Amino acid sequence: MGSQFLKYVKGKVSIITVYYNRMDAVKESINSLISQSYKNCEIIVVNDGSTDCTLDEINKFSHVSNLKIIDKKNTGFVDSIYEAIESTDSEYVAIHGSGDISLPRRIESQIDLLKSNFQVGVVGVHCEVVNEVTNKTSSLCLYEGVYQRPTKMLRKGNFITQGEVTFRRDIYDIAGKYNKLYKYSQDYDLWLRMSHYCDFYIIPEILYKRFSRKDGVSGNIGKVILQQYLVCFARQCDENGIKKPHPIELILVKSDWKFKKRLLRLLIKGFVCGANSHDYQTLLYAIKKEFGWVLYFISMIILKYKIRK
């Protein structure tokens, strides 16, 4: 499916990265975008109301001709990336996680794939993942090649992550764009909707280096619970053909066995590693809602000795 909107500049890609309090990760990450072999691109760097020196570090790149800096008050990742995409006129959009590294041929490889495969609308790559919580490095290489209209596959789980993705702007528009209702799992919701209009492709080459940081979602039990809850919501909306859900529908989400399984894993993590007071309350509330009072009381008794400040 080719481009349908003449307003988009053919062959041009907008690389978008959003920062909030990541001043130590700015330099190497943005340099990796400037060093891309694909030259018909603009780099849009959003400072989402950082309270540290992130903006100062970003401003050191203000001399780069194809780099645009957007400084705004803190409204969250989804709102920031939505507005950044709206400001572009590119045929393609590439996402780049804040502080991550795109290898030099990442964008060129993805654009070449999109230009030669018109049915493909979303392209990912293999990744090297550096976990700063566990100090371990691994490779994310489980999937590769083309996946035709992968809606059913996505409903079983998200196999393509956000930081390293490039997609066609027209398919993004047709699918309804990012939904600001999602604080987390906004990529999963978007992929589900885009999967009805195009094929997905994962290039079997490590072209991206991702960092799993202590301040990220994966390092926070409360954030993981909300993320998984929104995964259930996105899946149920897609199964029921709801493209633009009303916020009130968030209350009516029915959890599934995947959510319950993840919740039990988080409970075990809390038993072993402890949890801060906010995560403690969120986890107990979720346990009571999903498993009832017996497990709630058992969890409360054990976890109260594992609360970390």
* Residue 272 confidence class, pLDDT cut points 50, 70, 90: confident
Q: What is the pLDDT of residue 289?
A: 81
Q: How many residues does the chain have?
A: 309
Higher pLDDT, 266 or 101: 101
Q: Are residues 176 and 228 in the same domain?
A: no
Per-residue pLDDT reduced to its tens digit, 2-16: 444 458 999 999 999
The answer to whether 230 and 164 are in contact (CB under 8 A) is: no
Q: Are residues 224 and 208 in the same domain?
A: no
Strand partners, 120: 199
Q: Are residues 155 and 172 in the same domain?
A: yes
Range of the domain at 111: 9-212
Higher pLDDT, 252 or 1: 252
Q: What is the pLDDT of residue 218?
A: 59
For residues 47-56, average pLDDT: 96
Per-residue pLDDT reduced to its tens digit, 178-187: 999 898 899 9
Nearest alpha carbon to residue 273 among 295, 302, 301: 302
Is the pLDDT at 216 greater than 70? The verdict is no
Per-residue pLDDT reduced to its tens digit, 276-293: 777 777 888 788 888 888
Q: Classify residue 144 as left (phi > 0), alpha (psi -120 to 50) or beta.
A: beta
Q: What is the pLDDT of residue 282?
A: 80
* Residue 308 confidence class, pLDDT cut points 50, 70, 90: low
In a domain, 109, yes or no: yes
Burial 254-291 (b: 16+ CB within 10 A, else e): ebeeebeebbeebbeebeeebbeeebbebbbebbbeeb
Higher pLDDT, 93 or 279: 93
Among the candidates 168, 194, 212, a domain finishes at 212
**Strand extents, DSSP E, 116-198:** 120-131, 136-140, 145-147, 166-168
Higher pLDDT, 279 or 66: 66
Per-residue pLDDT reduced to its tens digit, 147-161: 999 999 999 989 998
What's the pTM? 0.85
Among the candidates 187, 212, 237, a domain finishes at 212
Q: Output the CA–CA distances (angstroms, integers) from residue 151 to 11, 163, 190, 220, in the order listed.
A: 27, 20, 11, 29
Is the pLDDT at 199 greater than 60? The verdict is yes
Q: Are residues 123 and 156 in the same domain?
A: yes
* Residue 213 confidence class, pLDDT cut points 50, 70, 90: low
Is the pLDDT at 198 greater than 70? The verdict is yes
DSSP state of 185: -
For residues 83-93, average pLDDT: 96
Most confident residue range from 30-34, 210-214, 255-259? 30-34
Domain CATH code at residue 133? 3.90.550.10
In a domain, 114, yes or no: yes
In a domain, 49, yes or no: yes
* Residue 177 confidence class, pLDDT cut points 50, 70, 90: very high
Among the candidates 183, 212, 241, a domain finishes at 212
Number of domains the chain contains: 2
